[in-house]
């Protein structure tokens, strides 16, 4: 489990083909690798990856074809910068929100507007994720725990302070940049719980406004 509080920014130094999968090498001069062991998890732009090899300033992880297909890794290359967070320790401060490292979909930056004290960024999420994104709710963007400040359909707006822009890869964003999105895990569980006894016989995607009205969630 992660918190969405980025510890360091790394750079992809190699992408080695291993059949349908790739072995990724990430280097970082600022991520403390002293307590990282083989088999540990590191969220890499929000994707939970298992360390299979490590050194003082790098680690390697295998990325499956499935992960490449459903995350922004399809757009990465040697030199790409990535946000890094080691798995949460039980005795550490919980500064963000519950992040699993399981990306739900890829969004795209729609607009970037610079203000005096912050930057306003609009992101278009896949339509299938729109129901999980709520005003003042939490969302993970490339591994960063952020607050949703406004929602319009499947698009949502973020207010980003200078510290976040400096300490994460969000400062590199341009219009069109693909970003990994993970919605609030509580929203996913609530959706499933709403099915009650029907959960064993209903696809989660079958939940509709009619379903909600029939079961008393809408008036």
CB 33 within 8 A of CB 57: yes
Q: Decide if 43 is inside a domain.
A: yes
CA distance 191 to 184: 11
The percent of residues above 70 in pLDDT, for the chain, comes to 92
CB 165 within 8 A of CB 119: yes
Q: Decide if 155 is inside a domain.
A: no
Residue with the bigger pLDDT between 218 and 22: it is 22
Q: Decide if 33 is inside a domain.
A: yes
What is the dihedral sign for C-alpha 113, 153, 149, 3?
A: negative
Residue 189 scores a pLDDT above 60: yes
Q: Decide if 41 is inside a domain.
A: yes
pLDDT band per the 50, 70, 90 thresholds, residue 193:
confident
Q: Decide if 169 is inside a domain.
A: no
At 65, give phi and psi (nearest 5°): -60, -35
Q: Decide if 58 is inside a domain.
A: yes
| Structure tokens that stand for 112 in this block | 């970037």
Q: What is the mean pLDDT of the chain?
A: 90
Residue 216 scores a pLDDT above 60: no
- 67: CATH: 2.40.30.20
pLDDT band per the 50, 70, 90 thresholds, residue 44:
very high
Domain span including residue 73 = 8-86
CB 168 within 8 A of CB 9: yes
Residue 219 scores a pLDDT above 60: no
pLDDT band per the 50, 70, 90 thresholds, residue 214:
low
Range in 84-88, 144-148, 215-219 the model is least confident about: 215-219
> Residue-wise over 99-122: b if at least 16 C-beta within 10 A, else e?
bebebbbbbbbeeeeeeeebbebb
Domain count, the chain: 1
Residue with the bigger pLDDT between 185 and 172: it is 172
Q: Decide if 12 is inside a domain.
A: yes
Q: Decide if 191 is inside a domain.
A: no
């Amino acid at each position: 489990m992660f918190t969405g509080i980025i510890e360091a920014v790394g750079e992809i130094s190699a992408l080695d083909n291993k059949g349908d999968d790739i072995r990724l090498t990430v280097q970082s001069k600022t991520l403390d690798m002293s307590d990282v062991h083989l088999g540990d998890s590191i969220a890499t732009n929000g994707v939970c990856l298992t360390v299979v090899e490590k050194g003082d300033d790098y680690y390697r992880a295998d990325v499956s074809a499935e992960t490449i297909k459903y995350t922004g890794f399809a757009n990465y290359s040697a030199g790409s910068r990535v946000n890094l967070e080691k798995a949460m320790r039980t005795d550490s401060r919980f500064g963000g929100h519950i992040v699993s490292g399981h990306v739900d979909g890829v969004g795209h930056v729609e607009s970037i507007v610079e203000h005096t004290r912050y930057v306003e960024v609009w992101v278009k999420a896949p339509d299938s994720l729109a129901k999980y994104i709520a005003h003042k709710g939490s969302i993970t963007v490339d591994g960063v725990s952020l607050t949703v400040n406004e929602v319009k359909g499947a698009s949502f707006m973020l207010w980003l302070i200078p510290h976040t822009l400096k300490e994460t890869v969000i400062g590199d964003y341009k219009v069109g940049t693909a970003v990994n999105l993970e919605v609030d895990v509580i929203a996913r569980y609530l959706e499933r719980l709403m099915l009650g006894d029907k959960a064993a016989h209903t696809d989660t995607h079958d939940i509709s406004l009619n379903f909600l009205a029939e079961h008393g969630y809408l008036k």
